[in-house]
Copies of this chain bind each other. A is one copy, B any other.
């Protein structure tokens, strides 16, 4: 028995029935002899509804007032969830972010957790109250409410687990855990029992939208054991921790990311520092560059190809034109691409992984456009129309039925 932190997202508490379901999960955990701290997001569409109300009045509202507005969403959900737990006859207390001790940076809308003053949390746990905390929010040095930005509630939960030295942080979602591929699309996709933080980070970045990246980074930093599991089916999920037990399978997952655009630039003068200048320009515009490929052309020029997210593509092209004095026709931006990746720790010592992946794609007539490898992943860029077929083919290669 111990201290468990449980996090429930907005869809898990979208209506009265789901709130009661969540209350049952929490009180079952408590009844088993655990202390429980719950982190919860705003109900279903609450946040979107509030944003809509704000836009109607002032589309250019300050971020401070947006945070004042949006933090009411979790306030409603912690109160309702606590009432549901009261109904089941268990001792419970709800706490807003500031009551739970969340001190954040001042950046409204994208605040970072600086520290958690755990006095109140500790006192409530010592009284064996179930504590229901508003995720996504905190208080800055001006005593003003802040929000943590996208996926903030995951981060709130991991931060509490770290600060309170909880035995486990359970993140409840609408999937049963982390799968070797998207189970809705790939037959034979398997749920992983365990996965390391780094593998989870790669999977999250690659579009397996289970856990927010910031929360995984924080879990890694403070060595918090995280379990991803379903709020609808009562089955064990996937445990994310530092040294995962080596399972037989090496590849943890096959993912698809279609939020990619490829930008190719031809005939750049082959001077030193040319690539540096361009990528510095992109960094300055806060555009993340993913795969990079450079080749020397036939004459004294070179070609550079790189990928960015779709929303940054047009701005990236503009940045390139600003940097070099080249013809616009020498730049090609292709948004009809997808990135397929296999992720698994220890991959670099198994060269067979890459060739197995390439073979699967070749046998299915799927052309590889770019390749990128790291210690724990191999990614290829292909035509978007082949994406789903590619995931299935690669997955089948590593997990034969």
Contacts and interface: CB of A to CB of B under 8 A. Distances in A.
Interface stretch (A82-90, A203-211, A288-296): A82-90
A20 interface: yes
A78 B82 CA distance: 25
A54 B80 contact: yes
A120 interface: yes
Interface in A61-91: 61-62, 64-66, 68-69, 71-73, 75-76, 78-80, 82-84, 86-87
A69 B65 contact: no
A120 to B, nearest CB: 7
A86 B69 CA distance: 14
B78 A68 contact: yes
Contacts of A68: 75, 78-79, 82, 94, 96
Of A54, A68, A96, chain B has the most CB atoms within 10 Å of the CB of A68
B54 A83 contact: yes
B72 A86 contact: no
A84 B72 contact: no
A83 B65 contact: yes
Contacts of A71: 75
A185 interface: no
For chain A, which range describes its interface: under 10, 10 to 19, 20 to 34, or 35 or more residues? Answer: 35 or more
Nearest to A81: B57
Given A94-B68, A143-B99, A57 B75 contact: no
A19 B55 CA distance: 13
A72 B76 contact: yes
A76 B50 contact: yes
Interface string A1-39: 000000000000000100110000000000000000000
Given A16-B56, A99-B143, A69 B80 contact: yes
A95 to B, nearest CB: 9
Contact of A62 (B72, B86, B145): B86
A65 B77 CA distance: 11
A53 interface: yes
Contacts of A246: none
Interface in A114-172: 120, 143-145
Given A65-B94, A68-B94, A83 B58 contact: yes
Given A61-B87, A68-B96, 7 more contacts: A16-B56, A20-B57, A61-B86, A68-B79, A72-B76, A72-B79, A99-B143
27 contacts: A19-B57, A54-B79, A54-B80, A57-B87, A58-B83, A58-B84, A58-B87, A60-B86, A60-B87, A61-B86, A61-B87, A62-B83, A62-B86, A65-B82, A65-B83, A65-B86, A65-B94, A66-B79, A68-B75, A69-B76, A69-B79, A71-B75, A72-B73, A72-B75, A72-B76, A99-B144, A120-B143
